[in-house]
Amino acid sequence: MKVTLNKVFPLDGSVEDAWQILKDIEAVAGCMPGAEITDTIDEHNYKGNVKVKIGPMNVAFHGDITVQDIDAGERQIHLIAKGQDSKGSSSASMDLVARVRESESSASELAGDAGVTVNGKLANFGGRMMTQVSDQILGQFADNFSSKLATSTASGESDEPVAKPEVKQINGLKFAWDALVGWIKSFFSRKA
């Protein structure tokens, strides 16, 4: 089951500061809720974990992250992450292109295009929640990224060790609820 997402998030920091975080894979992984890097093989290959809870399903994925490309000129990274859950009953992969760039309405913006593919039990029982949950995950990611950006900007030194955020589980049910609330709210807040 494949879900394609194209999102743009406004950021409060400069494009250059944002890029410093984006090209730091460990920092980026740190912004993904429920995720952590467990192993650095080389600068293009990592191993990581992600914990997700969607309704009754608790899945812990472990897998590989490959940095396909880092383009400093475009300030763009291309990542491919592939994993299986510990029971082998679900698999997931994500092909993500993320870039930071100038924005008209904010200091800068983070733009992401992601193709998320899920196979197995998660696709079987969680299929219909995929888009909303992926949306929420990316939204959370952007929030974390923004916080990190604010912190690094405030501290003035982007390579100061940042406290590793606690690896929390993504709670899919909460996301689904938030997604529902967000969707209903959107009826009342359509921009002209």
Name the site residues for another protein (rule: CB under 8 A).
1-2, 87-91, 117, 119-121, 123-124, 127-128
Determine how many CB atoms are found less than 10 A away from the CB of residue 114: 20
What's the closest the beta carbon of residue 180 comes to another protein, in angstroms? 17
What's the closest the beta carbon of residue 171 comes to another protein, in angstroms? 20
Tokens 């916080």 sit on residue = 147
Q: Where are the beta strands (DSSP E) in the chain?
A: 2-11, 35-42, 45-54, 57-71, 76-85, 90-101, 108-120, 170-171
Determine how many CB atoms are found less than 10 A away from the CB of residue 53: 17
What's the closest the beta carbon of residue 133 comes to another protein, in angstroms? 15
Complex with another protein: residue 119 or 144, whichever CB lies closer: 119
8 Å CB contact between 38 and 48: yes
Q: For residue 30, which amino acid is it? A: G
Complex with another protein: residue 59 or 77, whichever CB lies closer: 59
Complex with another protein: residue 2 or 174, whichever CB lies closer: 2
What's the closest the beta carbon of residue 123 comes to another protein, in angstroms? 4
Complex with another protein: residue 58 or 106, whichever CB lies closer: 58
